[in-house]
Chains A and B, each alone.
Chain A
């Protein structure tokens, strides 16, 4: 019997259950507890948006706050992982990766390979992504394509509470460095989530809607945008198959290729900046491996090549909308040479 919880609660539950099961799992980050050193409440914040609230009460010193020193504490989590712990460390906004990326892409990602196979670095870096909060250019990016680009990292991007819990549990159990991307606008989304612990394997896409006329691959919050578009398309007799890759590294290529094999048409929706994003990566992959199946060019739906604007009037134009996805799908369906 599944009850409904929010994406945020699902993340919290995944961490709590794994911490209960495995004493080497620790949590670190800025204000993951909150109130350290002050006169007020301890666990005052539980994370900037409350995702880690309550963990300190359950697990005490295994849940640690840090000063604002990402290079040092993200690196410390990575070092601790290489030395026997399983840290779940938070990079509060993915936009802050600039101050600590070396530890992630040159250290964590490369240890196993560079050291000839001996290193095991089971760190999970949780981070917030996404636009729509009016948080402006430095707090609204996705950037998962930059991490996907790096051999040695795994990239996990859930779109639902059910997926969030199962994928985070898998991430914590996984023995490689995992970057776990949480779209900030999905935190309040509720769905049925089993109370017991469960793990969803990496490299397995989810077909969230079946259809024969066009394949729409979408990531994070865009999965919901794509589903809305699919509803609209169905009214016009166009049946879209919506696929959520769930992990961009490893990527479930087979599910995407199989879908394109029967629809012949592909739209990829990626909220990231358009150049070198995951949409372009998937488009290239399909172009290379399934050229013969394609009845139309692959279309990527992303915002324009601009920083995320602050004003709601502009931000709403930046983010791919259901109408834009619908228009792209219709274009590929109606394409004829």
Chain B
């Protein structure tokens, strides 16, 4: 499978995962200084999921994310500078400083936003898919949700609705094993979220989310199915998050050394590197080059965000309505 992917795509994939990883690791460090306000939920560890899925998408395709949304946003093309500035609450942030980490969005890029409400994206993606169907574009819409979100009524209703209306929607359950501090093996009744697909009349797959190639392949099938009018799909991506539910969470609900072992044995970036170098698809030097470029990019984004001005009093009242009257 790996040999079917051309070099340009492999480089793009690695760069995308590296950007997400470095961005999140840096936000983790900066948050600890106290300069970043509010709640932040980091995606580090899950990069292959966002990348493997979103690499199939066009700008016109839609994505809805969760509170853990930075990865999906970066994969969908949001600029690191404007994302970082938003997280810092600055006016040059992608949402003018009004949304913050939990609500980063850019509808021009088909990014319907991170969402502070668990399951909030399900119905919205049904809507994006419905719009595509009615307007007769062959765009698709992807709803990312977590194992926590998989138990929310809105997601279950969205699965049924998209199936009944045969919408070009793809539901990607990123099962990282924990909904806040509660393990998915306790909270998800059947153990596999993918088992619900059959119940809602759609094909479902389970993939190892640490393996970019596995995610890319499964997502490719689902996207193709949706684009060609074949209706919705459910993909359950088994992943792991490195950081807590939110920054500040001590993760005492996880086993000792659990995260350490994951970083050593299941890191999607390391696994990708191993695969592509072993198969002589890319060299370490090419990958190192990307690492260096991304490092500078993230550094630049932080510097930009820190010096950027905050919104002013006059910004408080704008953009509530398109027109009040």
Contacts and interface: CB of A to CB of B under 8 A. Distances in A.
Interface of A: 30-31, 34-41, 44-45, 48, 65, 67-72, 95-96, 98-99, 133-139, 304-307, 309-314, 317-318
Summarize A's interface: helix, strand, loop or mixed. loop
13 contacts: A31-B180, A39-B254, A67-B188, A68-B152, A70-B152, A136-B102, A137-B116, A138-B102, A306-B320, A307-B98, A310-B97, A311-B100, A314-B310
Nearest to A35: B253
Main secondary structure of the interface of B (DSSP, over half): loop
Contact of B317 (A31, A98, A134, A304): A304
B323 interface: no
B151 A309 contact: no
Contact of B182 (A39, A67, A72, A136): A67
Interface string B85-105: 000011100010111101100
Contacts of A137: 98-99, 103, 116
A318 B253 CA distance: 37
B255 A38 contact: yes
Given A311-B100, A313-B312, A305 B180 contact: no
Interface string B257-272: 0100000000000000
A310 B312 contact: no
B181 A314 contact: no
B89 A313 contact: yes
Q: Select the residue from B95, B116, B151, B253 with max chain A CB neighbours within 10 A.
A: B253
A68 B255 contact: no
Given A37-B186, A68-B148, A310-B38, 6 more contacts: A35-B182, A37-B183, A71-B153, A96-B118, A310-B103, A311-B90
B38 A136 contact: yes
Contact of A311 (B97, B117, B152): B97
A304 B115 CA distance: 23
B179 interface: yes
A314 B100 CA distance: 12
B255 A311 contact: no
5 nearest A-B residue pairs (beta carbon): A37-B186, A37-B183, A39-B255, A310-B100, A138-B116
B143 to A, nearest CB: 15
A42 to B, nearest CB: 8
A65 B39 CA distance: 22
B313 interface: yes
A311 B310 contact: yes
B98 A311 contact: yes
Contact of B315 (A40, A41, A314): A314
A309 B98 contact: yes
A96 B153 contact: no
B311 interface: yes
Contacts of B148: 67-68
A309 B252 contact: no
A317 B98 CA distance: 13
Given A67-B151, A69-B151, A312-B37, A37 B184 contact: yes
A98 B153 CA distance: 11
Contacts of B181: 31, 34-36, 38, 44-45
Given A133-B38, A310-B98, A311-B100, A38 B178 contact: yes
A30 B180 contact: yes
A68 B228 CA distance: 34
B316 A304 contact: yes
A139 B253 contact: no
Q: Which of A37, A44, A95, A99 has the most CB of B within 10 A?
A: A37
A36 B182 contact: yes
A306 B116 contact: no
Contact of A34 (B116, B182, B311, B315): B182
